[in-house]
Amino acid sequence: MSQYIINGGRPLIGEVSIRGAKNASFKEMIASMLTDEPVSLLNIPQITDVHLTASIAKFLGSQITAFGEHGFSLTTPKITSSTVPSGTGEKSRTSFIFAAPLLARTGKAIIPTPGGDRLGARPLDRLFDCYQKMNISTVVDDHSISFSTNAIRPTEYTFPKPSHTVTEVVIMTACQALGETILHQAAQEPEIDDLITMLNSMGAKINRDPKDPGTIVIQGVNRLHQTTHQVIPDRNEAVTFGCAALATKGQINILRIKPHLITVFLETIERMGAKVNRGQDEVAISWQQPLKNANIETGPEPGFMTDWQALFSIVLTQAVGCSQVIERIFPYRFHHIDFLQKMGGKFKFFNPPVTDPNYYHFNQESDKPEFFHGVKIYGPAKLQPQDLTVNDLRTGACITIAALTANGTSTISNVELIERGYEQLASRLKSLGADIEYIKT
């Protein structure tokens, strides 16, 4: 296992540039397979999830050429297999997204059961339900999901609850289904809009209703063509560096970011007492004084993003008073709390009283009696260095920030999981003044 050796207790100060969005880049690589013409993608991050997606795409028939540090040209003249390989396909949740181009071009797709972070069952029932209306049959066994169709049909479908990735898969699938597909209560994340921008540049006809952003209308076209598209910046990276600045009592200027992508985060830290200076494509975040406590609930766009709550928990451990976090997207996403307790953080789990059946966005069958959906965080806490082995991407980033905050030397192991979503995180933190050594094994 690779490791970070971190000697914490130093404020992070300086400038850092944000890479392309993880949650847009690998999906847009898959979307490029909807056409047999070349697609050039710019601002692609050098992360494990991208490399894994490229490996699967090549197996299925894509020809991929890198140019520069962050550019890919992808051409898929022919789909050579309709089966996503087991092994690589099981390592990532990207696997079921390949169903869209495989169905569009071959009429069938066999996908290994999705992997990725252990956050609870992915709501694929929403995909299966919509696919049934699109004349796509689904067969699920213990190891794989098989889709097939003799012709994809347009449909009108209302999601019972918004689902980010399923919305994207359905959009891709509907692009070349001749006729009109209308999606109601669709997810509204900016990565989806970036995908729509890319597909429209390829000749698709997709529009989000300006009066009802949850409604997306897709007019099917005969074929898609070549394009060049630049991936939006990664809002999760921006929030990670912002949290690192505040937790270490530092100041960071975050470059190559669109501040509106992280509006709810910026507004939250401003209420807590942080200084925020927004530019057109940059934002400066500074610790000025002891931060006030805050209460947050994760939610779909435009809410507080679930990917941010582990990172933000570190900031709350350094705020004055009792804060609370309620997780509404996944049935349990508090794995990081166990690590932070070992480092001296003070927490208390609870379950909020809920009367609205739509309050939580995960499927109820994914819930378990032992799961908590809320946690109280008491601060400020003096975090202590520890030797820890992380178990998922965001927990890994969270614990890295915690180690930067604690006085003394911590060892973070299994940082390969962090590299799923962050390009050269250690060296970029080092450029901000962190005492961090990356040991690759």
pLDDT above 80 for 289: yes
Give residue 90's pLDDT.
65
Whether domain 3-19+233-439 has CATH 3.40.50.720: no
**Every domain of the chain and the residues it spans:** 3-19+233-439, 22-230
Give residue 121's pLDDT.
47
Q: Please check whether residue 325 is in contact with residue 377, taking contact to mean a CB–CB distance below 8 angstroms.
A: yes
What residues pair up with 350 in beta bridges, in sequence order?
374
DSSP 8-class letter at 304: B
pTM of the predicted model as reported, rounded to 2 decimal places: 0.95
In this chain, the answer to whether the domains covering 3-19+233-439 and 22-230 adopt an identical fold is yes
Locate 36 and state its tokens: 């047999």
Average pLDDT over residues 174-196: 97
Q: Output 241-244 pairs: Cβ under 8 A, ≥24 positions apart.
A: 241/12, 241/16, 241/18, 241/285, 241/432, 242/266, 242/269, 242/283, 242/285, 243/311, 243/312, 243/314, 243/315, 243/401, 244/12, 244/401, 244/404, 244/429, 244/432
What is the second-level CATH architecture of the domain 22-230?
A: Alpha-beta prism (3.65)
pLDDT digits (tens, 9 = 90+) for 152-184: 999 999 999 999 999 999 999 999 999 999 999
Euclidean distance between CA atoms 260 and 245, whole angstroms: 19
Which has more confidence, 362 or 231? Answer: 231
pLDDT digits (tens, 9 = 90+) for 311-354: 999 999 999 999 999 999 999 999 999 999 999 999 999 999 99
Give residue 113's pLDDT.
81
Question: Percent of the chain beyond pLDDT 90?
Answer: 90
Average pLDDT over residues 29-48: 97
pLDDT band at 366 (very low <50, low <70, confident <90, very high): confident
In the predicted model, what is the mean pLDDT of the chain? 95
Give residue 117's pLDDT.
43
pLDDT digits (tens, 9 = 90+) for 220-258: 999 999 999 999 999 999 999 999 999 999 999 999 999
